[in-house]
Amino acid sequence: MRRLWLIFAQAVTVSVAVLFVLNTLKPEWFKNAAPAAVVSILEAPGSDSAAPAPAPNSYADAARRSMPAVVHIYTAKDIARPRHPLLDDPIFRHFFGDRQGNAPSQRASGLGSGVIASPDGLVLTNNHVIEGADEIEIALNDGRKFPARLVGRDPETDLAVLRLQGNGTLPAITFAKQDALQVGDVVLAIGNPFGVGQTVTMGIVSALGRSQLGINTFENYIQTDAAINPGNSGGALVDSQGHLVGINTAIYSRSGGSLGIGFAIPASTARDVLEQIIATGQVTRGWIGVEIQEITPELAESFGIRGTEGALIAGVLRDSPAEHAGIRPGDILIGVDGKPVHDPKGMLELVAGLMPGHSANFRVRRADSEVDLKVEIGRRPAPSVQR
């Protein structure tokens, strides 16, 4: 009996040892030993078409139409390094002399977005995205990269036009109909925020005609709560059909990120600037050469003026169209070519819209009477170029 027990124990020990060795060296022999667990998962029915149908209340179609026309813009420029303050110290200069050597420049890079406005490679963006840049590169949504050159810019609306130097037809954006946008409409902001890649955010039109923000000379902004962040500048603001309604430009923020108050230049303004730059290389606006001032209630009371409508002529430039026409300091401009002037901003926009070289009728209030004057419109001087 003892012998049988020893034989059995040895046989079991050897079998276990063989099983352990096989499981170590050939584990795949034992994979199907245990039955696989079955998990029941519910899945939505698929679509028979190649492209899935958009979900209800989705703006996927609008994004798909407009995203290929929104590009990333990379810029580079040389900037002077700041001069060390010790070089301006009188004691240092007394012992070591006046060292006026030019500080070495350093290379700075920038990032923004743009919108392809025509299939032949015209790109709209913000002036502040490319200002001072001596090297511009554009990256398309499909990954292709092309050099670009500056065609023209308009600092007073913060718009610039680039030409992409590439071959073939490019995906161009479709402009929305003028004045079709309303407060409450859904809009999508497309750009490259913080350089993370093309991003689409959604919001509504919060307000139209925003001005007096101190951003640019001519302001007529679309306000939206769609998230706009650094890197979105120059990108597209599109409607629910994917049509361009604005060029993203600025945000109101205390932290540098989006707080739900973003501003875009209307597509109608961008189109007008684009057409003028392509036709003449610059944007032409009317000018008469006056300094204007808002009529406050206190100012109206001191001048004995009824109401605050109009623009007070605070000064007239010498040898300007206004001086030649007889406009005087102290006059109150109340009409331009039959259109009423409500405030200085309105007066500036009315005059800018006049064609240089043509005459226009200006109505001014002088003392207790109203006087009509013919003014030959001049060309508004271009702002100085910063480098």
Map out the domains of the chain with their CATH numbers. 60-80+105-281 (2.40.10.120), 286-379 (2.30.42.10)
Which residues, including other chains, have CB under 8 Å from residue 293's CB and lie 6 or more apart?
299, 311, 312, 313, 314, 344
Identify whether 72 is a catalytic site residue.
Answer: no
- Picking from 86, 119, 149, 141, the residue whose alpha carbon sits closest to that of residue 281 is 149
Rounded Cα distance between 249 and 284, Å, is 22
Identify whether 84 is a catalytic site residue.
Answer: no
Q: Say whether pLDDT at 39 is over 80.
A: no
Percent of the chain with pLDDT over 90: 40
**Phi, psi angles (nearest 5°) of residue 64:** -65, -35
What spatial distance separates the first Cα and last Cα of the chain, rounded to whole Å?
106
Q: Which of 47-61, 66-80, 218-232 has the lowest mean pLDDT?
A: 47-61
pLDDT of residue 88: 63
Query: pLDDT tens, 160-170?
Result: 999 998 777 89
Helix (H, G, I), strand (E, B) or coil at 273: helix
Burial zone of 229 (CB within 10 Å; 0-12 exposed, 13-18 middle, 19+ buried):
buried
Q: Which of the residues 158, 225, 239, 331 is marked catalytic? A: 158
More confident residue, 380 or 305: 380
Cite the annotated binding site for substrate by residue number. 128, 158, 231-233
231, 191 Cβ separation under 8 angstroms: yes
Q: 115 falls in which pLDDT band (50, 70, 90)?
A: very high
pLDDT of residue 241: 92
161, 124 Cβ separation under 8 angstroms: yes
What is the Rg, in whole angstroms, of the alpha carbon atoms belonging to the chain? Answer: 34
pLDDT of residue 235: 93
More confident residue, 350 or 385: 350
pLDDT of residue 252: 83
Q: Which of the residues 128, 154, 206, 331 is marked catalytic? A: 128
Q: How many CB atoms lie within 10 A of CB 216?
A: 20
- Picking from 113, 129, 241, 225, the residue whose alpha carbon sits closest to that of residue 175 is 241
Query: pLDDT tens, 277-289?
Result: 999 888 889 999 9
Q: How far is CA 103 from the centre of its chain?
A: 33
pLDDT of residue 22: 72
Could you tell me the pTM of the whole model?
0.74
Query: pLDDT tens, 196-225?
Result: 888 999 999 999 988 878 888 888 899 999
- What percent helix, strand, coil does the chain show, rounded to 5? 25, 30, 45
Mean pLDDT of 104-121: 83
pLDDT of residue 345: 84
Mean pLDDT of 140-145: 89
Mean pLDDT of 66-95: 74
The enclosing H or E element of 241 equals none
Q: Which of 18-22, 272-276, 323-327, 381-385 has the lowest mean pLDDT?
A: 381-385
Q: Which of the residues 66, 113, 206, 233 is marked catalytic? A: 233
pLDDT of residue 14: 76
Q: 247 falls in which pLDDT band (50, 70, 90)?
A: very high
Identify whether 319 is a catalytic site residue.
Answer: no
- Sign of torsion over alpha carbons 96, 100, 104, 109: positive
pLDDT of residue 387: 42
Q: Which of 49-63, 286-300, 327-341 has the lowest mean pLDDT?
A: 49-63
pLDDT of residue 123: 95
148, 164 Cβ separation under 8 angstroms: yes
Rounded Cα distance between 324 and 332, Å, is 17
Phi-psi region of 279 (alpha: psi -120 to 50; beta: other; left: phi over 0): alpha
Q: 95 falls in which pLDDT band (50, 70, 90)?
A: low
Mean pLDDT of 133-145: 89
Question: Mean pLDDT of all residues in the chain?
Answer: 83
